[in-house]
Chains A and B, each alone.
Chain A
Amino acid sequence: MIAFHVDRAGSVPAYAQLVQQVREALRLGLLHPGDKLPTVREVVTSCAVNAATVLKAYRELELSGLVEARQGAGTYVSGTLGGSVDPAVMGELRGRLTTWVGDARTAGLEDDDLRALMTSVLAEPPGELTAEQRAARAARSADATDPQSSESGARP
């Protein structure tokens, strides 16, 4: 079960925030198919949002095939997001991001700067891989048979 949080200060409507929180929980593996979402009443009382808002969010999730409403029983997770990615790969990506965030903070960047940087990189067209990325990719596929060696070998 996940707990929702609604931020009233921003301009993102509450229903969109609820949808986003479910999608994020699915991506991070906090929610799995078969898990129950909080009841409409629970979300209404805990977040103090209108029932119509919660129903709208749940309907949108249902339309995108992520949850299903079971008559009289509640709303259950029925789909996955990013579930096809190997958990080990996911863990490694997370680890590298943590390192990167650490480096960026050491360099004096604020969290907002990091977000802006991330957004700008995401907005770039995929394009060609850099030489460095190609080398890293080649190293990874070579390491696939011997995961131990990658830790010491990949860094200059």
Chain B
Amino acid sequence: MTEVAIETRDLGKQYRKLWALKDFSVSLPANKVIALVGANGAGKSTLMSIAAGILPASEGEIHVNGRVVLLSQEKPLYRSFRVAEMLAFGRHLNRTWDHQRALTWLSRFDIPLDRPCGKLSGGQQTQVAMAVALGARPSVLLLDEPLANLDPVARRDVIGELLAEVAESDMTVVLSTHVVAELAEVGDHLLLLSQGRSRLDGDVEELLAQHTRLIGPRADTPPIEGEVVQTQHTERQSTFVIRTLLGADTPVAEPWQAQPVTLEDLVLAYLKPNRSLGEEL
């Protein structure tokens, strides 16, 4: 039995008439990278805010194992504070504080300690916020699209260093992003939200092994049994993404062809069950 980082039971959050989260029950494993994906308004930020304790839930329960830190797109930095002062501030605010870890992170990305935060570039500010977040030694680090203002190279560097931090500690990282392709080979566990509910939740490798794409002549149903996730028809051809407990290796009869799916395919299949030809997301 793996340890659990975050557990919710029938969690719900209501804003006026709208439920941003509803009947939400998940159990997220500890010391893993959890990829949190979903369309805008699916409930990602609401879930993270509740987990961080800055937003009360309307119903249900949530339990987070250990200290939790949330880092969102708005960086919690004081513009007039120098970087070193920002770290001192973090040290003052947190009972547990790892100064060396914060300093190491900043030096890896060449952030000048004597520069006021307001004079740093957007990317550098992200690094300072990350350093303060890591210095607090969270058990669970919630990242709500904080890497959005980094260029692709810097983003990859940050994700690489973060993965190393996860490997070297018992930290759990929950990472939400719009850039699904980027999550391939990064997330251990996928949590896909749709309209405030959990649509797909599981170990990435297991999920990929359970799904397959079947391509063949126009048909109303796929040639093998399974839950149809995505259907796509043209005049002569049908494509199905199905979830089958028999596994993606199940042989299919000619002329059908089975292909493995990537993490991006999988997410898009669930987010867009009926895709018509030529339509882009």
Q: B40-48, B86-94, B153-161, B270-278: which one contacts chain A?
A: B153-161
Docked-complex contact A48 and B262, CB < 8 angstroms: no
Contact with B along A1-35 (1 / 0, CB 8 A): 00000101101011000000000000000000000
Q: Roughly how many angstroms separate A40 CA and B184 CA in the complex, as a whole number?
A: 18
List B contacts of A9 (CB < 8 A): 181
Q: Does B161 lie within 8 Å of A53, measured CB to CB?
A: no
- Whether the pair A49, B185 counts as a contact (CB closer than 8 A) is yes
Give CA–CA (A13, B261) in the complex, Å: 10
Chain B, 159-195, CB within 8 A of any chain A CB: 159-161, 163-164, 166-168, 181-182, 184-188
Asked whether any CB of chain B lies closer than 8 Å to the CB of A44, the reply is yes
Among A14, A47, A52, A53, contact of B160 (Cβ-Cβ < 8 Å): A47
- A45 on the interface (CB 8 Å rule)? yes
Contacts of A45 in B (CB 8 A): 157, 160-161, 163-164
Q: Is the CB of A11 within 8 A of B167?
A: no
* Contact B167–A48 (Cβ < 8 Å): no
Residue-wise interface mask of A (43-83) relative to B, using a CB-CB cutoff of 8 A (1 in contact, 0 not): 01111111111000000000000000000000000000000
CB of B160 within 8 A of CB of A48, answer: yes
Chain B residue total in the interface (Cβ 8 A):
22
Pairwise interchain contact B160-A46, C-beta atoms closer than 8 A: yes
A11 touches B164 (CB 8 A): no
Residues of B within 8 A of A46 (CB): 160
Whether, in the assembled complex, A134 has its beta carbon less than 8 Å from a beta carbon of chain B, the answer is: no
Does A50 lie within 8 Å of B33, measured CB to CB?
yes
Residue pair B185, A51 in contact (C-beta under 8 Å): no
Say whether A49 contacts B163, CB under 8 Å. yes
State how many angstroms separate the Cβ of B28 from the closest Cβ of chain A: 16
Q: Contact between A41 and B185 (Cβ–Cβ < 8 Å)? A: no
Q: Taking CB as reference atom, which chain A residue is nearest B204? A: A50
The reply to whether the CB of B260 lies closer than 8 angstroms to some CB of chain A is yes
Residue in A6, A11, A41, A53 whose beta carbon sits within 8 Å of that of B260 in the complex: A11
Interface secondary structure of B, over-half rule: helix
Q: How far is the CB of B254 from chain A (nearest CB, A)?
A: 18
Bound state CA distance, A40 and B188, in angstroms? 16
CA distance A40 to B260 in the complex (A): 27
Q: Does B107 make an interface contact (CB < 8 A)?
A: no
Inter-chain contact B33/A44, CB cutoff 8 Å: no
Q: For residue A23, give the distance in angstroms from its CB to the closest CB of chain B.
A: 19
In the complex the two chains form, is B185's CB within 8 Å of A8's CB? yes
Q: Output the least CB separation between B273 and chain A (Å).
A: 21
Q: Is the CB of A11 within 8 A of B33?
A: no
Given contacts A41-B168, A48-B160, A8 and B181 within 8 Å (CB-CB): yes
The answer to whether A11 and B259 have CB atoms under 8 Å apart is yes
Which A residues are in CB contact (< 8 Å) with B157?
45, 48
Cβ 8 A contact of A48, one of B181, B186, B259, B261: B186
CA distance A50 to B33 in the complex (A): 8
Shortest CB-to-CB span from B34 to chain A, Å, is: 12
Q: Which of A40, A44, A53 has the most chain B CB within a 10 Å cutoff?
A: A44
Binding site for B on A (CB under 8 A): 6, 8-9, 11, 13-14, 40-41, 44-53
By a beta-carbon cutoff of 8 Å, the part of chain B in contact with chain A is 33, 156-157, 159-161, 163-164, 166-168, 181-182, 184-188, 259-262
14 A-B pairs within 8 Å (CB atoms) are namely A8-B181, A8-B185, A11-B260, A14-B184, A14-B185, A44-B167, A45-B160, A48-B157, A48-B160, A49-B163, A49-B186, A50-B163, A51-B167, A53-B185
